[in-house]
Amino acid sequence: MTDNSGKILKSIRPGKITLPILIGLVVTAYFLYQEYDPSVISAFSFTFKSLFWFFISFSMIAIRDFGYMIRIRLLTSNQLSWRKAFNVIMLWEFTSAITPSAIGGTGVAIFFINKEGIKVGRSTAVVMVTSFLDELYFILAFPLILLLIGRTDIFSFGTSMMEGLPWYQNKFFMFAFIGYLLKLAYTIVISYGLFFNPRGLKWLLLWIFKLPIIRRWRPQANESGSDLISTSKEFKKWPLKNWINAFIATCISWTARYWIVNTLILAFFGFDLLGWNDHILVFGKQLVMWIMMLVSPTPGGSGFAEWVFKEFLSSMIPIGTGMAMAFMWRIVSYYPYLLIGAFIVPRWIRKHFIKA
């Protein structure tokens, strides 16, 4: 961990916020120009209720992060204070915001937790379990939402409606289905290694990484296998009550994340635009969006996230308002982490690496 400190510190320097901001603003400006129509402004409602629901949108972010803080304190047996838990979560989110979505901040989260006083083995265990709980939420929530909605237009893209289209002809359904299967397979493998046979899973990993194409990553596979064994020892005998509490905190965090869009729609279009069933559809569409955003090559999904948002929700909001809503969504759910991180990172580095 010490040997990698320099690389990690370099990867989280605050100056990196410039690129994702520029990408997001350029893409947003381009699409706003493309779909600009002065009459569209009248579709937005600006009232006291708008301010109220806009405040609720920001409250969803606070609830989301509070849930993460509760979970990480549970997983560390409250060894992290509330302040330290806040620092770890903000650093984690900041790293996710300045790195490609496919990479995220999980890799350096172990480093953050360790520097706050938790041993490396325990830090690795905490990060692996958070990943397991996050995937478990998605695996349970996605089919539940599909059953509640009972509609296939959850996969509609742009202004086209796909309700009634056979599943094998719906490319977005297939994309989401493959993504779901990958997440399910990952969760099953982690569950098997975490609760039943960690040494067996490590052996399987090392056997797979004998293949010539991926042999050069065998040392990392060996390290991951060792981490999995230590994780299993840490959590195999964890009380059921703790698992339930940690999963409830996970559900609160992810549900709050997805409700941000619903509250923004209520803020600018009120209750007349969508019924409650439609709001569940909006929620479900975000699950599909999340799968697509995982493959984004840009930092924090900048540019790609705005475009996906506009296309996936364009059938749910007035025509021409998609990119404006996407920009508001990113203002609430993404840009605050860039700003908070830019303040926290220098102070955190001074505290842990610069001696008086």
Bridge partners, 100 (sequence order):
299
Please report the pLDDT score of residue 60 as a whole number.
93
Q: How far apart are the first and last CA of the chain?
A: 23
Whether the CA torsion 220, 225, 226, 227 is positive or negative: it is positive
Long-range pairs for 322-327: beta carbons < 8 A, 24 or more residues apart: 322/31, 322/35, 323/28, 323/31, 323/32, 323/35, 324/32, 324/40, 324/44, 325/264, 325/265, 325/268, 326/28, 326/31, 327/28, 327/32
**Residue closest to 72 by CA, chosen among 134, 114, 133, 130:** 130
Helix segments in the chain, DSSP class H: 5-11, 18-34, 48-75, 82-98, 106-115, 120-149, 171-195, 198-208, 218-235, 240-269, 276-293, 304-313, 322-333, 335-353
Please report the pLDDT score of residue 113 as a whole number.
86
Separation between Cα atoms, residue 318 and residue 92, nearest integer Å: 35
Cβ of 108: how many Cβ atoms within 10 Å?
A: 22
Please report the pLDDT score of residue 74 as a whole number.
92
Separation between Cα atoms, residue 191 and residue 86, nearest integer Å: 28
CA distances from 55 to 66, 293, 334 (A): 16, 26, 16
Please report the pLDDT score of residue 356 as a whole number.
43
Q: What is the pLDDT along the chain (356 residues), one digit of tens a residue?
A: 545 566 666 666 666 667 777 777 777 777 666 666 666 666 566 777 888 888 999 999 999 999 999 999 999 888 899 999 999 999 888 888 877 755 555 667 878 888 888 877 677 778 888 988 999 999 998 888 888 877 666 776 655 555 555 555 666 677 778 888 888 888 888 888 778 877 877 787 677 777 676 677 677 677 767 777 777 777 778 888 999 999 999 999 999 999 998 898 888 877 776 777 788 888 888 888 887 777 666 666 677 777 777 777 777 777 677 778 888 888 888 888 888 888 888 888 787 777 54
